[in-house]
Each structure stands twice: as C-alpha cells, then as structure tokens.
C-alpha cells in the first residue's frame, strides 16, 4: 500500500466521521419531528434513553455516577460520538470495498439499526426487548437510521469531492 492509498483511507475515514456526526444531527431532527407528531422514541421506564444509560455507565466506570442533568447532557455526546465512529467505519469500508459504496449509506445504516437498536442495546439492558417494543417505534427508529445513512453518504461524498478523493 502506497502513501497515496494511505492518504485516501485517512481522507475517507475523516470524511465519514464528519458525515456520521452530521447524520446523527439529522437523526435528532427526525426524532424531534416524529415526537411532534406523536411517535415517542424508545426509553426505559425512568425516561432515560440508551445513550444516557451508556454515558452514565461509562462515567461510573471512570469517574462517578452522573446526575440526572448530567445524563441529559451526556446522552447526546454518546449519540454523536457513536454516529461519528460509525461514519468513520463507513469511510474505511468505502475504501476497502468500493463496490459496497455504490449501494449508498442506507444499507450500512440499516445494519447499524439492526445490530445496535435491535440486538446490542436490548442485550445490554439499555432498552426493552424488541419483542416488547411497539412496531411503530421499530419503524421510526429504522427511518431515523435511514436518514442517518443518507446524510452520511451525501456529506462523505461531498467532502471527498471538495478535497479530492
């Protein structure tokens, strides 16, 4: 692997991270719109979502338990960090398997939805079992991830066009 290929990988990973961050913001906008029309995002009985529980668990391992106000502030940080990380993974995959990029970001984000929302988050006790979650919540979460994937792909591709692939 030459220096040019290495730069291409770094550019794609960084562009993916930016796209993932912005895609996470688009997801939040989608969730806000869904909430405005009556669809509630999944949360535990105490009103905490998976990102807040994750932030709390990480903080407790490293520092101390978070207050309710701190959890509310830290939840979005976890969401954006995970979105950027997944965007970086997408950027790396685009270089490693360019044929996969031709199908766009939605299949990638669908895999994240299934792997994270439907499997990992419930398995870790951060959300209810998918069997206990109403179908409209599954559909809303899938749609939000599709928005993430579309925005991720558009931003990633746009950045690479601007800076040169």
For 21-50, how does the pLDDT look when each residue is reduced to its tens digit (9 = 90+)? Answer: 999 999 999 988 988 877 555 544 456 778
pLDDT score of 47: 65
CB-count burial class (<10 Å; 0-12, 13-18, 19+) for 163: exposed
User: 45-103 pLDDT, tens per residue?
Assistant: 456 778 888 877 777 788 887 888 888 888 888 899 999 999 999 999 988 887 766 66
pLDDT above 70: residue 163: yes
Distances (CA, A) of 134 to 40, 71, 87, 109, 131: 10, 25, 28, 21, 8
With tokens 């929302």, the residue in question is: 117
User: 95-120 pLDDT, tens per residue?
Assistant: 888 776 666 788 999 999 999 999 99
Q: State whether residue 20 is helix, strand or coil.
A: helix
pLDDT score of 39: 59
Average pLDDT over residues 130-150: 92
pTM of the full structure: 0.85
Instruction: Give the count of domains, the chain.
Output: 1
Distances (CA, A) of 46 to 119, 155, 157: 21, 36, 40
pLDDT above 50: residue 146: yes
CB-count burial class (<10 Å; 0-12, 13-18, 19+) for 157: middle
Comparing CA positions, the residue from 25, 48, 41, 20 lying closest to residue 112 is: 20
**Full domain range(s) for residue 8:** 3-163
Q: State whether residue 165 is helix, strand or coil.
A: coil
CB-count burial class (<10 Å; 0-12, 13-18, 19+) for 108: buried
Question: Residue 136 corresponds to which tokens in the numbers above?
Answer: 């409209």
Question: What's the pLDDT band for 145 if we cut at 50, 70, 90?
Answer: very high
Distance CA 65, CA 76 (A): 17
């Amino acid at each position: 692997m030459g220096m040019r290929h290495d730069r291409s990988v770094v550019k794609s990973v960084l562009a993916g991270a930016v796209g993932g961050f912005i895609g996470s913001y688009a997801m939040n906008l989608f969730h806000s719109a869904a909430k405005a029309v009556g669809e509630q995002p999944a949360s535990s009985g105490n009103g905490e979502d998976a990102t807040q529980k994750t932030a709390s668990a990480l903080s407790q391992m490293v520092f101390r338990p978070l207050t309710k106000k701190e959890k509310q502030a830290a939840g979005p940080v976890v969401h954006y960090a995970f979105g950027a990380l997944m965007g970086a993974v997408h950027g790396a995959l685009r270089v490693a398997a360019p044929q996969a990029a031709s199908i766009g970001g939605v299949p990638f984000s669908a895999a994240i939805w299934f792997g994270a929302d439907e499997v990992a988050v419930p398995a870790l006790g951060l959300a209810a079992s998918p069997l206990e979650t109403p179908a409209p919540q599954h559909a809303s979460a899938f749609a939000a991830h599709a928005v993430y994937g579309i925005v991720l792909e558009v931003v990633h591709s746009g950045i690479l066009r601007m800076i040169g692939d």
